Structure 1
Amino acid sequence: MPFQKIQTERVADTVVRQIEQLILRGILRPGERLPSERDLSERLGVSRPSIREAIADLVSRDLLATRASSGVFVADVLGSAFSEPLIKLFSSHEEALFDYIAFRRDLEGLAAERAARLGSDTDHKVISTLFRKMENAHSKRNPAEEAALDAEFHMAIVEASHNVFMLHMMRSMFEMLRAGVFYNRQVMFKVRTTRSALLDQHRAIHDAILARNPAGARQAIEDHLGFVETCMLEDRKSEANEHIALLRYKKEQDRK
């Protein structure tokens, strides 16, 4: 008969699986510090040797990293999504920017659709809280804070889609955006009219998701990223025009 003896799972394996799930679901994020060994032991109700064994396992598989005198941190697992040479290639070719925007339009449109349909009430509270923070930052005219909250708002929508592959892919994409691989996000928030338009677009996304309108949420994302694409095209055209103007100016200066 195809029966096997039941194997009792080690406590350390149970701890490993719980930490793995928190990383997989994006609750524990890259660079985030874990609680101390004693704190984890108390929270999970297991012995400290079991905690040490679990952490050693996760460190050996590069999911956690130890730092001397600092503690244990979630490893930078995003680094595996795109190689360093490919990231450098992205940053040196303009077509990558517009492919990036098109990719985001497609994937985030799907994420917003799923967030409206599958997101829990708590997911929607997170999205709403971040939007209120965006409104507050807008009133303070703080481009850096607005740019940071913009990224968090979009990631909250991806998280509310409840698809772990989409979550980690988009987190990797946003990490490159934060590092300025594609463009400086703060540039979008420096012009008053652009800032107001962006806030209105995020409000439309927010309202459609909270109204549980999947089609409306997707359309709002597509409208927003279409606007971003237009702004980037205009910025590139402005740079090209300025380059030509400088050449003309230099020629006139040389003729004196």
Structure 2
Amino acid sequence: MPFRKVQPEKLSATVVRQIEQLILRGILRPGERLPAERDLAERLGVSRPSLREAIAELHEGGLLVSRAGAGVFVGDVLGSAFSPALIRLMNGHDEAVYDYISFRRDMEGLAAERASRLGSDYDLQVVDAIFRKMEAAHLKRDPTDEAELDAQFHMAIVEASHNVIMLHMMRSMFELLKQGVFYSRQIMFRNRITREQLLDQHRAINTGLQARNAQAARAAVERHMDYVEQALTEQVRAERNEEVARQRLEHERGR
């Protein structure tokens, strides 16, 4: 008969599995600090030796890292998504920008559709809360906060889709966006009229999600990404025209 005696699981193994699950689901994020050992052991209901054993195993697997005098942190699990050579290559070619936007249009449209159907009420409340912060940040002259909330808004939708593969893939893509690999989000928010249109587009996405209208939410995401592509194209053209005009002016002054 294909039966084996049930072996009791070590407490440390249970801790390992729980922390792994939190990282996989994107709840614990790269660089996030874990609670102090005593506090974490109490929360998990295990002894400190059992916790240390679990931490050591997770550390060996690269999911956690220890920093002297600072504590234990979630490892950079996104770091291997793109090699440094590929990042430099994408950074130097404009076509990567438009491929990135096209990729986001498809993936985030799907994420919005899934979030409308599969997201919990709490998920949608998170999305709505971030959008309300965007509205408040929109009133500021400095667009920095609004640009940062823009990324958070889109990631919250991906998180609400409850697909861990999509979550980590898109999180790695947004890390590159934050580094300015594809384009600077600050450029998108520099123009006041553009900021108004972007806010309206995010409002339409949020409205579709809150109504759990999957078709409307996806369509709103696609319209938003189409606008981003158009705005970046116009920005590149404007910069090129400005350079040509500058050269003409220098030539005229030198005559």
Q: Is this a same-fold pair by TM over 0.5?
A: yes
Instruction: Name which of structure 1's ranges 236-245 and 21-30 shifts more when overlaid on structure 2.
Output: 236-245
Unaligned runs of 5+ in 2: none
Matched residue SS, 1:77: coil
Rounded to whole Å, the distance in 2 between the matches of 1:7 and 1:253 is: 86
Rounded to whole Å, the distance in 2 between the matches of 1:3 and 1:223 is: 56
Match of residue 151 from structure 1: 151
Rounded to whole Å, the distance in 1 between the matches of 2:222 and 2:196 is: 18
Match of residue 50 from structure 1: 50
1:95: Cα distance to partner?
0.4
Q: TM-score, normalised by structure 1?
A: 0.98
1:3: Cα distance to partner?
1.2
- Is 1:94 paired with 2:77? no
Matched residue SS, 2:65: strand
Match of residue 140 from structure 2: 140
Rounded to whole Å, the distance in 2 between the matches of 1:236 and 1:139 is: 27
Match of residue 217 from structure 2: 217
Match of residue 72 from structure 1: 72
1:68-118 deviation per Cα after TM superposition (whole angstroms, max 9, x unaligned) = 000000001111111111011110000000000000000000000001111
The amino acid across from 1:28 in the alignment is L
Rounded to whole Å, the distance in 2 between the matches of 1:250 and 1:94 is: 28
Rounded to whole Å, the distance in 1 between the matches of 2:48 and 2:134 is: 42
Classify 1:226/1:65 alpha carbon distance in 2 versus 1 (closer, same or farther; 3 Å): same
Matches within 5 A, 1:100-139: 100-139=100-139
Q: TM-score, normalised by structure 2?
A: 0.99
Match of residue 244 from structure 2: 244
Match of residue 182 from structure 1: 182
Match of residue 7 from structure 2: 7
Consecutive aligned runs of 4 or more in structure 1 exceeding 6 Å deviation:
none
Matched residue SS, 2:66: strand
Matched residue SS, 1:212: coil
Q: Superposition RMSD on alpha carbons, in Å?
A: 0.7
Unaligned runs of 5+ in 1: none
Rounded to whole Å, the distance in 2 between the matches of 1:21 and 1:66 is: 19
1:254: Cα distance to partner?
2.1
1:9-38 deviation per Cα after TM superposition (whole angstroms, max 9, x unaligned) = 110000000000000000000000000110
1:250: Cα distance to partner?
2.0
Rounded to whole Å, the distance in 1 between the matches of 2:129 and 2:142 is: 18
The amino acid across from 1:60 in the alignment is E
Rounded to whole Å, the distance in 2 between the matches of 1:190 and 1:247 is: 25
1:53: Cα distance to partner?
0.4
- Is 1:193 paired with 2:193? yes
The amino acid across from 1:70 in the alignment is A
